[in-house]
């Protein structure tokens, strides 16, 4: 194969799969312990936060306005 067109792989496919699998497990663990999963599983009386925006906040991160602080 021509070197200019085809590069040798500079990564280990196994390592990539392990990394992505690890991230997926973390996401799943987080989700399985969440109110949204509890709600989806039929458990009532849980507060979920699908739309998490706080429209009264003063910044996208939810910070309050300087004028409201003591």
**CA torsion, points 46, 52, 55, 56, in degrees to nearest 10?**
60
Distance of alpha carbon 6 from alpha carbon 9, whole angstroms: 9
Give the shortest CB-42-to-other proteins separation in angstroms. Answer: 13
Site for other proteins in 24-53 (CB under 8 A): 24, 27-28, 30-31, 34-37, 40, 48-53
By the criterion CB under 8 A, which residues form the site for other proteins?
1, 5-11, 13, 16-17, 20, 24, 27-28, 30-31, 34-37, 40, 48-67, 69
């Amino acid at each position: 194969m021509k070197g200019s067109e085809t590069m040798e792989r500079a990564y280990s496919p196994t390592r990539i799969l392990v990394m992505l699998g690890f991230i997926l497990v973390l996401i799943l663990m987080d989700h399985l312990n969440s109110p949204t999963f509890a709600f989806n599983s039929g458990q009532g009386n849980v507060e979920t936060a699908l739309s998490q925006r706080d429209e009264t906040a003063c910044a996208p991160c939810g910070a309050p306005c300087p004028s409201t602080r003591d």
